[in-house]
Amino acid sequence: MKFDLVTVPSHTIFCIRTTVPLAKIAPFLQPSYERLETVLKDLNVESVAGRAYTYAISPDDIDIAAALVIAEKDRETVREAIEKAQHDNPDGSADDLELVTFEEGPAARATHHGNYNTLGNSWDAFSQELDSQSVKVAAPAFEDYVDRGGENSSSAVTDLYWYLER
């Protein structure tokens, strides 16, 4: 799979992160994105991009985050909403809502065309190509949903990013 080397700009994500069985990725992501979008709508904040971040993967499960990229100007508003949720919950949690900022960094980028249920094949091909060229990667990897491709996502365009070791 063809890839290019790019610099990912500094960015902040509003996310829900957990570990799920590989077969349960979609059932985790969809309601998580809906929840994140509802919180942002209530705050009158618009996301810049939709993404999924992978921190670790095994043959059985994946440490994954459903994420919405937010503008720097909205960080404080979202941070305050998370703190309020922590204050309002008896156990002090924010129901897994997180705000994470990534610094600018080098990455490899490939592009997946087609249905989301074939993303795994593209990630495998991307990984093999990086290995064949001795490119050293670091967590997390992420998907940037460039074009969701309509109802069945058959014409979706998804950029795949893997941070490089520094």
Give the separation between CA 62 and CA 139, rounded to whole angstroms. Answer: 12
Q: What is the pLDDT, as a whole number, of residue 92?
A: 52
Q: What is the pLDDT, as a whole number, of residue 120?
A: 87
Q: What is the pLDDT, as a whole number, of residue 93?
A: 46
What are 34-63's pLDDT values in tens digits?
999 999 999 999 999 999 999 999 999 999
Sequence spans of domains, the chain = 4-164
pTM: predicted TM-score of the whole model, two decimal places:
0.90
What are 127-152's pLDDT values in tens digits?
999 999 999 999 999 999 888 777 77
CATH fit for domain 4-164, picks 3.30.428.10, 3.20.80.10, 2.40.70.10, 3.60.150.10 = 3.20.80.10
